[in-house]
């Protein structure tokens, strides 16, 4: 379990009843504006680790193992985190059973108790035994759930018969969120609010990306976190309870009209990665700042990075932060034991 000692009251303002629905990605009536964090730290230069497979896209820490997502003949590579030894690889590229056309990002994986859950765009949800899959160099399938919707942007399992799904609308004006159970789509209030965020005019094949977000689901907390890629907005909401909150973390927030008409090149990346932990979630903002929030959306801490990153994960047991940059292919390790005590 992670441990936090946060002596200061979070410096945030909660704005209730704001009429932001339909005009920005801050879709919920409860909006929290966060400009400062109760604790801030700037890290010193990290240790460079020289065991990155060529072309790696993303990383995740699982116990004593670091997993890389790589666009190669096998998509997932495992390394011993202590000495950099390659332990094996699995998840083959292809059209056959238990094969995938594209490498997954770590938000696409549900990892718990040695089991890796992953959605297949062909309409399956697989559970793999991680250790056996690495040792055998092939996916060791424990469970195969069939007849799910195909070609989803993301799919999170709520329980054995219920899933939370996102896909691009057919008119390319935005994303469609829905719950899937028993072959039927259903919606709650939070999902309906998200589905109301639509671009104006006719879809052009790419502008819908301005509404994109990085999403992840914590089953134990029953909380979805969606960090907007091009806006200073993080939406958090429950799938089964009455909880929803929009967190606004800066001035970079546009109306739907602006998102529909301003030059595409005016928009820069804001949130680049997202990870969920026992007591908090963390977002990588602009490649150089990690922002930590508790599960009620209160700001906890921000950590400034000395070197830009596109992905990160934390080894809480040993107090290390790992960052990866897809452009430089540099993997760095930082000692953050003092920050997370």
Average pLDDT, the chain: 91
Look at residue 88 and tell me whether its pLDDT is greater than 80.
Answer: yes
Residues 6+ apart with CB under 8 A from 78: 65, 66, 67, 68, 86, 87, 88, 89, 134
Look at residue 292 and tell me whether its pLDDT is greater than 80.
Answer: yes
**210: phi then psi, degrees, rounded to nearest 5:** -65, -20
Grouping H, G, I as helix, E, B as strand and the rest as coil, residue 308 is coil
Look at residue 274 and tell me whether its pLDDT is greater than 50.
Answer: yes
Angle at 321 between CA 302 and CA 88, to 5 degrees: 145
Q: How far is the C-alpha of 283 from the C-alpha of 293, rounded, in Å?
A: 9
Band of residue 14 on the pLDDT scale cut at 50, 70, 90? very low
Q: What is the pLDDT of residue 6?
A: 38
Residues 6+ apart with CB under 8 A from 184: none
Grouping H, G, I as helix, E, B as strand and the rest as coil, residue 256 is helix
C-alpha 108 chain-centroid distance = 8
Residue with tokens 């055998």: 136
Q: What is the pLDDT of residue 221?
A: 97
206: left (phi over 0), alpha (psi -120 to 50) or beta: alpha
Look at residue 286 and tell me whether its pLDDT is greater than 90.
Answer: yes
Question: Residue 233 pairs with which residues in a beta bridge?
Answer: 248
Instruction: Write the pLDDT tens digit of every residue in 32-82.
Output: 999 999 999 999 999 999 999 999 999 999 999 999 999 999 999 999 999
Please give the model's pTM, rounded to 2 decimal places: 0.91
Look at residue 84 and tell me whether its pLDDT is greater than 60.
Answer: yes
Among 112, 167, 162, CA closest to 142: 112
Q: Which CATH architecture has domain 12-340?
A: 6 Propeller (2.120)
């Amino acid at each position: 379990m992670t441990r936090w000692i946060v002596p200061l009251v979070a410096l945030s303002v909660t704005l209730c009843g704001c009429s932001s629905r339909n005009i920005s990605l801050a879709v919920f009536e409860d909006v929290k504006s966060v400009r400062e964090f109760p604790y801030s730290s700037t890290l010193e230069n990290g240790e460079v680790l020289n065991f990155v497979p060529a072309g790696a896209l993303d990383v995740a820490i699982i116990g004593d193992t670091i997993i890389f997502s790589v666009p190669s003949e096998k998509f997932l590579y495992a390394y011993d985190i202590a000495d950099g030894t390659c332990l094996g690889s699995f998840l083959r590229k292809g059209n056959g059973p238990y094969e995938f056309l594209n490498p997954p990002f770590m938000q696409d994986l549900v990892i718990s108790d040695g089991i890796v859950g992953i959605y297949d765009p062909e309409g399956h949800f697989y559970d793999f035994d991680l250790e056996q899959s690495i040792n055998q160099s092939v996916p060791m399938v424990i469970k195969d759930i069939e007849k799910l919707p195909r070609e989803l942007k993301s799919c999170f399992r709520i329980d054995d018969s219920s899933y939370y799904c996102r896909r691009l609308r057919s008119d390319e004006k935005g994303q469609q969120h829905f719950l899937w159970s028993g072959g039927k789509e259903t919606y709650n209030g939070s999902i309906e609010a998200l589905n109301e965020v639509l671009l104006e005019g006719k879809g052009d094949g790419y502008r819908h990306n301005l509404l994109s977000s990085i999403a992840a689901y914590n089953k134990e907390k029953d909380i979805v976190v969606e960090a907007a890629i091009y806006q200073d907005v993080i939406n958090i909401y429950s799938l089964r309870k009455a909880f929803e909150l929009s967190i606004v973390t800066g001035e970079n927030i546009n109306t739907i009209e602006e998102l529909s008409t301003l030059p595409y090149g005016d928009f820069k990346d804001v949130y680049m990665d997202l990870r969920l932990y026992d007591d908090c979630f963390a977002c990588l903002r602009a490649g150089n700042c990690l922002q930590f929030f508790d599960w009620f959306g209160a700001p906890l801490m921000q950590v400034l990075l000395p070197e830009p990153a596109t992905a990160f994960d934390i080894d809480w047991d040993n107090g290390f932060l790992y960052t990866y940059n897809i452009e430089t292919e540099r993997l760095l390790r930082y000692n953050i034991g003092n920050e997370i005590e």
